[in-house]
Amino acid sequence: MDVIEQRLIDLEMRIAFQEQGLHELSDALAASRDEESRNALMMHRMLDELRHLRSAMASSPLTGDAANEPPPPHY
């Protein structure tokens, strides 16, 4: 096997490894983007739930005025 043929084989192997690495990086990036989308959706839902809870607490007669709250158990 001459030098040029060996260099060509080495280059083909490098390209194959680089292609494999690019595929792995692409898969990792896609998985990361999917996770980011799921996290954003979960955060949006949690914020909506928090807004609803705050709204419910603000409209509740027990939390709207401190005078209407029952005394703590130790009194």
DSSP annotation of 1 reads -
pLDDT at 71 (0 to 100): 78
Total structural domains within the chain: 1
| Torsion angle of C-alpha atoms 7, 13, 14, 17, degrees rounded to 10 | 180
Residue 45 lies in a domain: yes
Rounded to whole angstroms, the Cα distance separating 20 from 55 reads 53
pLDDT value at 2 more than 80: yes
pLDDT at 44 (0 to 100): 98
65: phi then psi, degrees, rounded to nearest 5: -140, 130
pLDDT at 31 (0 to 100): 98
Domain enclosing residue 41, as ranges: 27-51
Residue 4 lies in a domain: no
Residue 70 lies in a domain: no
pLDDT digits (tens, 9 = 90+) for 39-48: 999 999 999 9
- Lowest mean pLDDT segment, chosen from 3-12, 14-23, 31-40, 58-67: 58-67
pTM: 0.59
